[in-house]
Structure 1
Amino acid sequence: MKITVIYHSHSGKTRTIVEKIHRQLDADLIEVVPNQQYSTLSAVTKGCYRALTGTADIITPDQISLDETDLVVLACPVWAGKPSPVMNGALKALSGGGGTRAFLLVTCNDAKSGDQAIALLKSRASDAGLVPVGEGILDKQAVISDQAIVPLIERIRSAGAV
């Protein structure tokens, strides 16, 4: 089974999680970054506004092929209760993913904002032709706890099983 992890990480927290997933599941790892980087201040001002409006950032890589991917893990931080605009850009960059199963993962300060973001990410993933089969919300406590990562990885593994 081929697993591809596509992620955006502004502060490094999401990156820490996906690197563990990458190692445990031998997944391909694709980091998406905005062509115009956010500073700490612009992430709060411009980035959160873009997240609230559902705007998709122009990203690198600008095309992401899911050919031969059995399960894609989409992972991003939550900005203003929404998926980051960089992840919105990643969804627009996908090709060859029609019908590909997707596990959705967000990192956030509190689970309530994560619930809102997961619902939107699920809808946008479906609109992109993906089939959401699982989700995970890691709040600031779970991000630093390896105890939360082990069951998350098992849920991803299960989501990828046919």
Structure 2
Amino acid sequence: MRWLEIIVAAMLTVLASWGLARPVHAAAKPGRTLVVYFSYSGTTKQVAEELHRQVGGDLVRIEPAKPYSQSYSAVSARAGKEYFGHLSPAVKTRVKNMDQYQNIFVGYPIWYNTAPMVVKTFLRQYDLRGKNIYPFSTFSSSRLGKSVRLIKKAAPGAEIKPGLPVDDTGAPHDEIQQWLHQVNFKQD
């Protein structure tokens, strides 16, 4: 039995030297950082701006091709149609040279227990394989909901890091700082 432990330890050492075995809490890979967000009411924008102050990089707002109404009931109806209809609403926002970013923070409000479908559309525009995606959401009752599952489907091959759910009370400086420490994020 002792020989088996030695062989396994030796194999892990070899794999680690080849870069095939990674520690569970590896630091983010070096590379440029992007903070991208969709915000309807301004709450997610506040959190994205505070996060951007802490991590640097570039800040980009996701804008749908057809803006959402100012009427909450109209927005709720449209969001429901998009969600239940599995729709991908067109997006006006384009990020030039997405390849330059290794760490992508994606922020959104929780609608229908997930990210708005416009976020899904935005992510699907790019090949995000091998990139680190850090989801963060603003919510009034469902934290991250099913949004991480949506992001995984929209960005196959990306490494989805643990997300940050923020209640609708504003930009939480200390909460963001703790989360960045938990996910072992290192600035560019």
Where does structure 2 lack aligned partners over 5 or more consecutive residues? 1-30
Deviation at 1:64, TM superposition (A): 5.4
Q: Report if aligned partners of 2:133, 2:159 keep a CA contact under 8 Å in 1.
A: yes
Corresponding residue to 2:112 among 80, 89, 111: 80
Deviations 1:6-48 (A, max 9, x none): 1100110000001111112112111111111111332111113
| Aligned equivalents of 1:82, 1:92: Cα separation in 2 | 16
Corresponding residue to 2:147 among 118, 122, 144: 118
TM-score between the two structures when normalised by the length of structure 1 = 0.82
TM-score between the two structures when normalised by the length of structure 2 = 0.72
**Helix, strand or coil at the partner of 2:162:** strand
**Helix, strand or coil at the partner of 1:37:** coil
Equivalent positions of 1:58-97 (< 5 A) are: 58-62=90-94, 65-95=97-127, 97=128
Q: Report if aligned partners of 1:54, 1:88 keep a CA contact under 8 Å in 2.
A: no
| Aligned equivalents of 1:100, 1:160: Cα separation in 2 | 14
Larger radius of gyration: 2
* 1:104 aligned partner: 135
* 1:15 aligned partner: 45
Deviation at 1:144, TM superposition (A): 5.0
Deviations 1:32-91 (A, max 9, x none): 111111113321111133134442210112455421212111111111111101101111
| Aligned equivalents of 2:171, 2:54: Cα separation in 1 | 17
| Aligned equivalents of 2:103, 2:58: Cα separation in 1 | 11
Q: Report if aligned partners of 1:134, 1:159 keep a CA contact under 8 Å in 2.
A: no
* 2:176 aligned partner: 149
Q: Report if aligned partners of 1:58, 1:89 keep a CA contact under 8 Å in 2.
A: yes
How many residues were matched structurally? 156
Q: Report if aligned partners of 2:47, 2:172 keep a CA contact under 8 Å in 1.
A: no
What root-mean-square deviation, in Å, do the aligned CA atoms of Structure 1 and Structure 2 show? Answer: 2.4
| Residues 1:50 and 1:24: Cα distance change in structure 2 (over 3 Å) | same
Q: Please state if 1:3 is matched with 2:30.
A: no
Higher strand fraction (1 or 2): 1
| Residues 1:160 and 1:66: Cα distance change in structure 2 (over 3 Å) | farther
| Residues 1:88 and 1:62: Cα distance change in structure 2 (over 3 Å) | same
* 1:134 aligned partner: 162
| Aligned equivalents of 2:102, 2:95: Cα separation in 1 | 18
Higher helix fraction (1 or 2): 1
Query: How many percent of aligned residue pairs carry the same amino acid?
Result: 18
